[in-house]
């Protein structure tokens, strides 16, 4: 299969679910309370829950589907949607819904399996319902087949069929999670079934994994699509059953499908007894919708390859480290007796308890107690990153190294089912495994653009070589901006949905005020619809026409509003900021000598205020040091000049202080942030960045009530109520939660480290970037990347365009085009920095995505000589970078 996309993951993260990180002491307590049976732990007590049933990340389309129709009566549109998905994807004409896979099995058994009959099968899973009916399940799995270990031994099957009493043949795709069958075997089984007049029932809950295996390993199947292979497998069976909570990524639900109207009628007449009406079978309407959408998506070639790649990679890492296991279609099945050879009677549950004890990971052997010793460590579909899986594997490997020190669980209470077991345990003396990765898992995904290179060339020409004008759907990895692009958490969404909207004062407003006072230590909290709205108001109330506004490098909207208020921006940033290759750690600092000289020359009353930006965007996301904030504030308050922060990326700056200033290594980011804010009189914030929201902003004052009163006056005129700033109440709710989440040390560390990782990979390959790597973005230095292109031919603009063509990555020009022309001379400003910004949205991309970005940029760097400049064909007067169009030279 050809892969047009430059990345393996065909999606990005749309929403996240925050993970819990119980401490070792908490884990001891949880284990004891759970009777040392990890079945009894709950996800809030667990870091990674390695179970693949009903735990998949869903697509944004599935999430949206939850609210469509949601009826479960005769003729419901959700059932119609399910019917059409079944017919299009699986090819069967009839579907009978059930509440879950057990419902499907029960229905099948009560309609087609008489007591005392025989079922030949290649699996052992889910046969519990047959026990009381005295149905005999005969294992006909072909034990001599080396590759397709789930194949049925045809001679043995014929023998069983000849013996009579066979009610149906049960063939499971990836039986017991480990054994795939070949299409050839399936066809032969069908022939035998027809010869003996017996139904072949296929359990297709893991049909995707089985199809992938066929595509890879079966002769002459390599060129067929997953969709075609799935369809053939389904059509070869008489009846298909599917667990909605597996391949279709639904939280629950099941289906039985067939082409045979008589069989369908039997099922329909019985489903009303046990499950629900034949048009919903015990599922909510929304579940049918999610299941239907999942069925359509599950045959997506890119997604299947990604899911299987993750599984293979995870299993291989464990195998390479000598962990005893069997390969599963959805993870690694640990051979517990071999892992803990000294544990005689309880190796599986002892393994599970020990793994949780050292790492907070849950892997659980379920259902009836059996003799086999495997503990499945399954990967929830699409929910974890490769890096997280590597660390889960490493936790198992670390446990294995000390396996002999793990004492056996002692049985206190027995049961026939595993969830009934109660144990006692002596905690072993083992070092905990520490995770260092994203503290969230993927909750929903959004598919990304998969244009071919030729299509991308066409797209960028059509966009006039301006990445702002590209359709987002054409972009594979979107690094245009970190503004409003964060993935919200399920907690934020829950708060958003639970809001009681109001056009006046809301509970959410009060909560926001409380949360922001706590986070910033500022008394007067004024929400705005985004950052520039706060800048507008601040500039209007603080600047007298003709006054100067010194700041640490301009930002486009900030400077524009200062100028609209009659002010004149003066750059007083340290010189190092203008040298892309300087490695100064605090390139965002204000040069106090420049500031003093300015005040001395013009007098303090000619200075409106100091405009002090954290993590200076235009300088490359460069931080300000704590000492600089202190010194500037001490000086300014001495001469009566207010200091206002642009605290848009204050958390990232706080993290930089934690990591670069040894005095703060042990200080939590939230405390650093509070200290930083002491050295200012107020702030503006674009909430679309650090606050982890898609819309929102803030104007705040530490103590000055008079300024706050003036600001509220303008807010009422330009923005909205003083209690919402023009934001929907629900957006206030999302902001409060975002502000609480943003100061989590694990989160902000993983965020900034991801940027660093991208920077490191580029630096190691010799690609010129602004150093040190910033916190929200990596800036390519176009002057050094394309030294043969004059600045008036817009090297950074062309470089951004070429990056899109080469990699499908969208970046932003920050150079001559952004800076504009000097209105007096009409000449381009030709700024010192001619940069391309690769900006990292928060919680959206994985480190694998970053590797793909780096690989692409490095390829481009190797052929940089071939790249030429651009000329304007349409040049707007203001903020020309947004709408301007170019042609290639
Ligand atoms: C960005 F090309 N930044 O970085 P608003 N202060 C700071 C910002 O970074 C910022 C704002 C204020 C954007 C979006 C953007 O010319 C451009 O909420 C430090 O966007 O109003 C925004 O906050 C303004 C990109 C804005 C641009 C203007 O991608």
Alpha carbon distance 335, 351 (integer Å):
10
Q: How far is the CA of 506 from the centre of ligand 1 (A)?
A: 28
Three-class secondary structure assignment of 52-84:
CCCCCCEEHHHHHHCCCCCCCCCCCHHHHHHHH
Q: Is the pLDDT of residue 400 over 70?
A: yes
Q: How far apart are the first and last CA of the chain?
A: 37
- Tell me whether residue 584 is exposed, middle or buried, using C-beta atoms within 10 angstroms of its C-beta: 0 to 12, 13 to 18, 19 or more: middle
DSSP 316-335: HHHHHTT--EEEETTEEEEE
Q: Is the pLDDT of residue 715 over 80?
A: yes
Alpha carbon distance 809, 271 (integer Å):
50
For residue 201, the surrounding DSSP H or E stretch is strand 199-203
Alpha carbon distance 94, 260 (integer Å):
8
Residue 639's contacts (CB-CB under 8 Å, 6 or more residues apart) are 599, 604
Average pLDDT over residues 17-30: 98
Q: How far is the CA of 63 from the centre of ligand 1 (A)?
A: 30
Are 69 and 285 contacting, i.e. CB atoms less than 8 angstroms apart? yes
- Give 72 or 177, the one with higher predicted confidence: 177
Closest by Cα among 741, 657, 726, 727 to 691:
741
Alpha carbon distance 79, 278 (integer Å):
10
Running DSSP on this structure, what letter comes out for residue 19? P
Are 168 and 201 contacting, i.e. CB atoms less than 8 angstroms apart? yes
Q: Is the pLDDT of residue 528 over 60?
A: yes
What atom in ligand 1 is closest to the CA of residue 481? 29
pLDDT digits (tens, 9 = 90+) for 58-67: 999 999 999 9
Q: How far is the CA of 617 from the centre of ligand 1 (A)?
A: 9
Alpha carbon distance 395, 360 (integer Å):
9
Task: List pocket residues of ligand 1, CB cut-off 6 Å.
Answer: 481, 483, 530-532, 555-558, 613, 617, 646, 648, 686, 688, 697
Alpha carbon distance 801, 797 (integer Å):
6
Q: Is the pLDDT of residue 129 over 90?
A: no
Are 865 and 848 contacting, i.e. CB atoms less than 8 angstroms apart? no
Q: Which of 482, 485, 557, 623 to mutate to test the pocket of ligand 1 (most atoms within 8 A of CB)?
A: 557
Q: Is the pLDDT of residue 371 over 60?
A: no
Q: What is the pLDDT of residue 457?
A: 97
DSSP 604-673: GGGB--EEEESSBTTTTSBPPPHHHHHHHHHHHHHHT--EEEE-TTHHHHHHHHHHH-GGGTTS-HHHHH
pLDDT digits (tens, 9 = 90+) for 445-499: 999 998 999 999 999 999 999 999 999 999 999 999 999 999 999 999 999 999 9
Question: E strands of 344-436, at which residues?
Answer: 361-362, 374-378, 410-413, 422-424
Q: Is the pLDDT of residue 1 over 60?
A: no
Q: How confident is the model at residue 131 (pLDDT cuts 50, 70, 90)?
A: confident
pLDDT digits (tens, 9 = 90+) for 322-338: 999 999 999 999 999 99
Largest CA distance in the chain: 106
pLDDT digits (tens, 9 = 90+) for 793-850: 999 999 999 999 999 999 999 999 999 999 899 999 999 999 999 999 999 999 999 9
Average pLDDT over residues 105-116: 93
Average pLDDT over residues 709-729: 97
Q: How confident is the model at residue 76 (pLDDT cuts 50, 70, 90)?
A: confident
Q: Considering the chain, what percentage of its residues have pLDDT values greater than 90?
A: 94
Evaluated on CA atoms 722, 683, 833, 652, the torsion sign reads: negative
Q: How far is the CA of 232 from the centre of ligand 1 (A)?
A: 52
Q: How far is the CA of 87 from the centre of ligand 1 (A)?
A: 48
What atom in ligand 1 is closest to the CA of residue 556? 16
What atom in ligand 1 is closest to the CA of residue 686? 18
For the beta sheet containing 812-814, the strands, ordered from the edge strand earlier in sequence to the opposite edge, are 777-781, 835-839, 812-814
Q: Phi and psi at residue 169, in whole multiples of 5°? A: -100, 130
Q: How far is the CA of 856 from the centre of ligand 1 (A)?
A: 26
Atom 20 (ligand 1) nearest CA = 531
For residue 558, the surrounding DSSP H or E stretch is helix 556-564
Alpha carbon of residue 101 to chain centroid: 28
What atom in ligand 1 is closest to the CA of residue 879? 16
Q: Is the pLDDT of residue 170 over 60?
A: yes
Q: Which of 551, 613, 645, 648 to mutate to test the pocket of ligand 1 (most atoms within 8 A of CB)?
A: 648
Question: E strands of 403-473, at which residues?
Answer: 410-413, 422-424, 440-447
- CA angle 566–599–621, rounded 5-degree value: 70
Q: Take residue 40 and report the two structure tokens written for it.
A: 């009894």
Atom 26 (ligand 1) nearest CA = 557
- Three-state DSSP class for residue 870: strand
Q: Is the pLDDT of residue 161 over 50?
A: yes
What does the buried/exposed string (b/e) look like for 234-262 if buried means 16 or more CB atoms within 10 Å of the residue's CB? bebbbbbbbbbbbbbbbbbbbbbbbbeee
Alpha carbon distance 79, 59 (integer Å):
20
User: 769 forms bridges with which residues in the sheet?
Assistant: 780
Alpha carbon distance 575, 767 (integer Å):
23
Q: How far is the CA of 574 from the centre of ligand 1 (A)?
A: 22
Q: Which of 469, 527, 529, 531 to mutate to test the pocket of ligand 1 (most atoms within 8 A of CB)?
A: 531
Q: How far is the CA of 549 from the centre of ligand 1 (A)?
A: 19
Q: What is the pLDDT of residue 14?
A: 98
- CA angle 848–851–853, rounded 5-degree value: 115
Of 131-135, 482-486, 558-562, the poorest mean pLDDT is in 131-135
Location of structure tokens 């990967």: 379
Alpha carbon distance 592, 575 (integer Å):
11
Q: What is the pLDDT of residue 125?
A: 67
Are 508 and 732 contacting, i.e. CB atoms less than 8 angstroms apart? yes
Q: What is the pLDDT of residue 356?
A: 98
Q: What is the pLDDT of residue 645?
A: 98
Alpha carbon distance 687, 292 (integer Å):
37
Q: How confident is the model at residue 7 (pLDDT cuts 50, 70, 90)?
A: low
Helices (H), 414-483: 453-462
Average pLDDT over residues 281-306: 96
pLDDT digits (tens, 9 = 90+) for 632-658: 999 999 999 999 999 999 999 999 999
Pairing of strands 58-59, 440-447: parallel
- CA angle 152–312–149, rounded 5-degree value: 10
Beta-carbon-side half-sphere exposure of residue 477 (alpha carbons within 13 Å): 30
Average pLDDT for the chain = 95
Average pLDDT over residues 754-772: 98
Alpha carbon distance 802, 804 (integer Å):
5
Alpha carbon distance 834, 819 (integer Å):
10
Q: How far is the CA of 557 from the centre of ligand 1 (A)?
A: 7
Are 650 and 692 contacting, i.e. CB atoms less than 8 angstroms apart? no
Alpha carbon distance 98, 110 (integer Å):
14
- Three-state DSSP class for residue 723: coil
The torsion of the CA quartet 594, 596, 597, 602, rounded to 10 degrees, works out to: 120
Alpha carbon distance 183, 188 (integer Å):
9
Q: What is the pLDDT of residue 3?
A: 42
- Tell me whether residue 795 is exposed, middle or buried, using C-beta atoms within 10 angstroms of its C-beta: 0 to 12, 13 to 18, 19 or more: buried
Residue 355's contacts (CB-CB under 8 Å, 6 or more residues apart) are 361, 362, 363, 395, 396, 399
Atom 14 (ligand 1) nearest CA = 483
Q: How far is the CA of 535 from the centre of ligand 1 (A)?
A: 11
Alpha carbon distance 536, 561 (integer Å):
5
- Tell me whether residue 406 is exposed, middle or buried, using C-beta atoms within 10 angstroms of its C-beta: 0 to 12, 13 to 18, 19 or more: buried
Are 282 and 255 contacting, i.e. CB atoms less than 8 angstroms apart? no
What does the chain come to in residues?
889
Q: How far is CA 558 from CA 65, 749, 822, in A?
A: 41, 28, 18
Alpha carbon distance 396, 398 (integer Å):
5
Q: Take residue 758 and report the two structure tokens written for it.
A: 């991208």
Q: Take residue 155 and report the two structure tokens written for it.
A: 């001679």
Rg, C-alpha atoms of the chain: 31
For residue 213, the surrounding DSSP H or E stretch is helix 207-217
Q: What is the pLDDT of residue 74?
A: 76
């Amino acid at each position: 299969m050809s892969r047009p996309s430059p990345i393996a993951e065909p999606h990005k993260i749309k929403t996240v679910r925050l993970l819990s990180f119980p401490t070792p002491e908490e884990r001891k307590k949880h284990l004891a309370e759970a009777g040392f049976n990890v079945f009894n732990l709950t996800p809030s007590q667990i870091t990674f829950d390695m179970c693949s049933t009903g735990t998949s990340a869903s697509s944004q389309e599935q999430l949206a589907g939850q609210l469509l129709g949601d009826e479960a009566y005769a003729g419901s549109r959700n059932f119609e949607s399910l019917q059409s998905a079944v017919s299009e994807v699986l090819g069967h004409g009839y579907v009978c819904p059930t509440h879950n896979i057990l419902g499907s099995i029960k229905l099948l058994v009560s309609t087609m399996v008489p007591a005392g009959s025989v079922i030949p099968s290649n699996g052992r899973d889910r046969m519990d319902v047959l026990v009381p009916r005295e149905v005999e399940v005969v294992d006909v799995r072909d034990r001599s087949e080396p590759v397709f270990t789930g194949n049925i031994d045809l001679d043995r099957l014929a023998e069983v069929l000849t013996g009579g009493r066979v009610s149906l043949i049960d063939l499971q795709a990836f039986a017991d999670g480990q054994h795939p069958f070949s299409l050839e075997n399936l066809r032969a089984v069908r022939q035998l079934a027809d010869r003996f007049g017996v139904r072949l029932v296929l359990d297709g809950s893991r049909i995707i994994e089985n199809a992938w295996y066929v595509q890879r390993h079966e002769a002459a199947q390599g060129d067929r699509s997953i969709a075609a292979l799935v369809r053939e497998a389904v059509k070869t069976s008489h009846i298909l059953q599917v667990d909605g909570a597996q391949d279709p990524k639904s939280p629950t639900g099941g289906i039985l499908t067939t082409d045979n109207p008589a069989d369908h009628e039997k099922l329909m007449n019985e489903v009303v007894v046990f499950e629900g009406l034949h048009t919903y079978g015990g599922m909510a309407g929304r579940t049918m919708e999610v299941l239907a959408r999942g069925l359509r998506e599950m045959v997506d070639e890119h997604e299947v390859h990604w899911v299987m790649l993750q599984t293979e990679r995870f299993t291989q890492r464990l195998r390479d480290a000598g962990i005893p296991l069997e390969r599963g279609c959805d993870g690694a099945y640990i051979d517990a007796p071999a892992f803990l050879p000294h544990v005689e009677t309880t190796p599986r549950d002892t393994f599970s308890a020990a793994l949780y004890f050292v790492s907070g990971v849950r892997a659980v052997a379920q259902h009836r107690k059996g003799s086999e010793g495997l503990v499945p460590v399954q990967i929830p579909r699409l929910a974890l990153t490769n890096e997280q899986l590597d660390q889960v594997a490493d936790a198992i490997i670390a446990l294995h190294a000390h396996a002999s020190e793990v004492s056996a669980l002692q049985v206190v209470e027995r049961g026939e089912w595993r969830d009934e077991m109660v144990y006692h345990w002596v905690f072993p003396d083992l070092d905990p495994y520490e995770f260092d990765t994203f503290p969230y898992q993927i909750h929903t995904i959004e598919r990304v653009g998969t244009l071919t290179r030729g299509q991308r060339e066409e797209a960028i020409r059509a966009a006039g070589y301006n990445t702002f004008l590209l359709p987002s759907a054409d972009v594979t990895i979107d690094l245009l901006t970190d503004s409003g692009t964060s993935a919200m958490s399920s907690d934020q969404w829950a708060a958003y949905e639970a809001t009681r909207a109001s056009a006046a004062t809301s509970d959410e407003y009060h909560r926001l005020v409380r949360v922001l006072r706590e986070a910033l230590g500022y008394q007067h909290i004024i929400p705005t619809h985004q950052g520039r709205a706060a800048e507008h108001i601040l500039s209007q109330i603080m600047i007298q026409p003709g006054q100067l506004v010194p700041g640490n490098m301009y930002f486009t909207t900030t400077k524009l509003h200062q100028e609209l208020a009659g002010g004149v921006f003066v750059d007083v940033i340290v010189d190092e900021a203008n040298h892309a290759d300087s490695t100064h750690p605090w390139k965002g600092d204000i040069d106090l000598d420049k500031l003093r000289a300015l005040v001395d020359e013009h007098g303090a009353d000619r200075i409106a205020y100091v405009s002090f930006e954290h993590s200076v965007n235009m300088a490359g996301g460069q931080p300000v040091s704590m000492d600089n904030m202190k010194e500037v504030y001490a000086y300014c308050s001495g001469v009566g000049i207010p200091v206002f922060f642009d605290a848009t990326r204050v958390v990232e700056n706080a993290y930089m202080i934690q990591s670069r200033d040894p005095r703060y290594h042990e200080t939590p980011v939230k405390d650093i942030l509070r200290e930083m804010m002491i050295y200012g009189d107020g702030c503006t914030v674009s909430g679309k960045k650090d606050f982890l929201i898609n819309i929102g902003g803030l104007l705040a004052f530490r103590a000055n009530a008079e300024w706050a009163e003036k600001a509220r006056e303008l807010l009422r005129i330009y923005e909205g109520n003083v209690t919402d700033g023009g934001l929907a109440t629900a957006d206030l709710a999302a902001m409060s939660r975002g502000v609480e989440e943003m100061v989590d040390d694990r989160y902000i560390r993983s965020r900034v480290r991801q940027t660093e990782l991208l920077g490191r990979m580029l630096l190691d390959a010799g690609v010129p970037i602004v150093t040190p790597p910033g916190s929200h973005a990596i800036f390519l230095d176009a002057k050094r990347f394309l030294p043969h292109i004059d600045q008036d031919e817009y090297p950074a603009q062309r470089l951004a365009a070429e990056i899109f063509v080469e990699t499908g990555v969208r970046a932003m020009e920050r150079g001559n085009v952004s800076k504009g022309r000097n209105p007096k001379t009409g000449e381009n400003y030709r700024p010192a920095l001619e940069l391309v910004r690769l900006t990292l949205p928060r919680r959206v991309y994985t480190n694998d995505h970053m590797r793909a970005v780096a690989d692409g940029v490095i390829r481009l760097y190797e052929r940089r000589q071939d790249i030429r400049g651009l000329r304007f064909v349409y040049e707007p007067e203001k903020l020309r970078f947004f709408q301007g169009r170019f042609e290639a030279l």
